[in-house]
C-alpha cells in the first residue's frame, strides 16, 4: 500500500455521517441502509452513497435478502480499528449529552458495552485486569493467555476455536477507559459465554450491557471481582 492508497483508505473514516454509522456497527449486527440513515440522521440516498464507498473500500461487507440490503463491519480487524480510532480521537467539546436520556445512555455505555464481539468499557477493563492479576493473561509483551489462562477457559467450558488468522488474544484500546481490553478469539468467546450464561444482559437494542446478580456472583467466584467494581 502506497501513500495514495493509505490516504484514500483514511478518507473513508473522515466524514461524520460515515463515522456515526461505523460506531453503530460496532454492535456486531447487520444493519439495513434505512436503519443507518435514520441513526445518522441523513437522507436514505445519502446513506446509500456513504455505504457504497465503505463497501468498495473493504470496510463493510454487504448481504442482500430479498429487497433488503444489509451491511456489517468486514471483520474484527475493522472493528478494532474503529474502536481504537475513537479512543485516540478522545471526547470533543461538542459531545456533551443533549438530554437526560442521552447522558444516561452514555453512562451505561461507559460502564459496560460490547465492542463488536468482546466486552468493553469499565466492565471489559475490570475483567481484563482480573485475568492479568490472576496470571491468566499477560500484557507485558503484548496480550497472550498463559497456560493457566488456557486451563481457566477450558474449566469454564469456553472453547477457543481457531478462526482464520484472528489471534487468540489481542489488546484493543478502549475509547472510554483509554486502556486496552481483551479482544481476539478469547475476548469474543468470553463475551459470548457471559451473555449465554446470563452473567450479562444487553440494555435495549444497543451495545450497552449490564452485569446481572448471577453475573456478579459468577465473576466473584471465577475472577475475584467484587460487585462494587461492576456497578
Q: Are residues 116 and 215 located together in one domain of the fold?
A: yes
Q: Are residues 54 and 127 located together in one domain of the fold?
A: no
Among the listed residues 58, 61, 66, 77, the one whose alpha carbon sits nearest the alpha carbon of residue 117: 77
Please check whether residue 159 lies inside any domain of the structure: yes
Please check whether residue 205 lies inside any domain of the structure: yes
This prediction's pTM:
0.76
Strands annotated E in the chain: 31-32, 60-65, 68-73, 113-115, 118-120, 137-138, 144-145, 170-173, 180-183, 200-202, 209-211
How many structural domains compose the chain?
A: 2
Please check whether residue 95 lies inside any domain of the structure: no
CA distances from 174 to 20, 96, 122, 128, 138 (A): 17, 19, 9, 11, 17
Please check whether residue 210 lies inside any domain of the structure: yes
Q: Which domain holds residue 109?
A: 80-90+101-230
Tell me the per-residue pLDDT of 71-111, one tens digit each, with 9 for 90 and over: 999 988 898 888 888 877 765 444 554 555 555 667 888 89
Q: Are residues 69 and 128 located together in one domain of the fold?
A: no
CATH of the domain at 16: 1.10.10.10
Q: Are residues 56 and 126 located together in one domain of the fold?
A: no
Q: Are residues 86 and 67 located together in one domain of the fold?
A: no
Please check whether residue 96 lies inside any domain of the structure: no
Rounded to a whole number, what is the distance in angstroms from the first to the last CA of the chain? 45
Nearest 5°: the CA angle 30, 32, 34 is 150
The average confidence (pLDDT) of the chain is 88
Cell digits of residue 168: 487468540
Q: Which residues pair with 61 in a beta bridge?
A: 72
Distance (Å, rounded) from C-alpha 91 to C-alpha 223?
31
Tell me the per-residue pLDDT of 26-49, one tens digit each, with 9 for 90 and over: 888 889 999 999 999 999 999 999
Q: Is the dihedral of CA 36, 100, 126, 13 positive or negative?
A: positive
Q: Are residues 66 and 84 located together in one domain of the fold?
A: no
Please check whether residue 57 lies inside any domain of the structure: yes
Query: What pLDDT does 105 receive?
Result: 67
Q: Are residues 42 and 143 located together in one domain of the fold?
A: no
DSSP 25: G
Q: Are residues 59 and 85 located together in one domain of the fold?
A: no
> Residue-wise pLDDT tens for the chain (231 aa)?
688 889 999 999 999 999 999 998 988 888 999 999 999 999 999 999 999 999 999 999 998 877 778 999 998 889 888 888 887 776 544 455 455 555 566 788 889 999 889 999 999 999 999 999 999 999 988 899 999 999 999 999 999 988 778 899 999 888 888 889 999 999 999 999 999 999 999 987 678 999 999 999 999 999 999 998 887
Q: Exposed, middle or buried, 193 (CB in 10 Å: 0-12/13-18/19+)?
A: middle
Please check whether residue 149 lies inside any domain of the structure: yes
Q: Are residues 120 and 32 located together in one domain of the fold?
A: no
Query: What pLDDT does 51 receive?
Result: 95
Please check whether residue 188 lies inside any domain of the structure: yes
Q: Are residues 203 and 120 located together in one domain of the fold?
A: yes
Query: What pLDDT does 211 receive?
Result: 95
Q: Are residues 12 and 36 located together in one domain of the fold?
A: yes
Q: Are residues 113 and 193 located together in one domain of the fold?
A: yes
Distance (Å, rounded) from C-alpha 54 to C-alpha 70?
13
Amino acid at each position: 500500500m502506497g501513500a495514495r492508497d493509505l490516504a484514500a483508505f483514511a478518507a473513508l473514516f473522515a466524514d461524520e455521517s460515515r463515522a456515526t454509522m461505523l460506531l453503530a456497527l460496532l454492535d456486531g449486527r447487520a444493519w439495513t441502509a434505512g436503519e443507518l440513515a435514520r441513526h445518522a440522521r441523513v437522507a436514505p440516498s445519502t446513506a446509500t452513497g456513504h455505504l457504497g464507498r465503505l463497501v468498495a473500500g473493504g470496510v463493510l461487507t454487504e448481504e442482500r435478502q430479498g429487497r433488503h440490503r444489509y451491511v456489517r463491519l468486514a471483520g474484527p480487524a475493522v472493528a478494532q480499528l474503529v474502536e481504537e480510532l475513537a479512543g485516540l480521537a478522545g471526547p470533543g467539546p461538542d459531545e456533551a449529552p443533549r438530554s437526560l436520556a442521552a447522558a444516561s445512555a452514555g453512562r451505561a455505555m461507559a460502564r459496560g458495552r460490547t465492542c463488536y464481539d468482546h466486552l468493553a468499557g469499565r466492565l471489559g477493563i475490570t475483567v481484563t485486569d482480573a485475568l492479568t492479576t490472576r496470571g491468566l493473561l499477560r500484557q507485558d509483551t503484548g496480550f497472550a493467555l498463559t497456560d493457566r489462562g488456557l486451563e481457566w477457559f477450558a474449566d469454564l467450558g469456553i472453547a477457543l476455536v481457531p478462526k482464520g488468522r484472528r489471534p487468540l488474544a489481542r489488546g484493543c484500546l478502549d475509547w472510554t477507559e483509554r486502556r486496552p481490553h481483551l479482544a481476539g478469539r478469547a475476548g469474543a468467546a468470553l463475551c459470548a459465554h457471559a451473555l449465554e450464561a446470563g452473567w450479562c444482559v444487553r440494555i435495549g437494542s444497543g451495545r450497552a450491557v449490564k452485569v446481572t446478580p448471577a453475573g456478579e456472583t459468577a465473576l466473584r467466584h471465577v475472577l475475584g471481582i467484587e460487585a462494587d467494581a461492576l456497578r
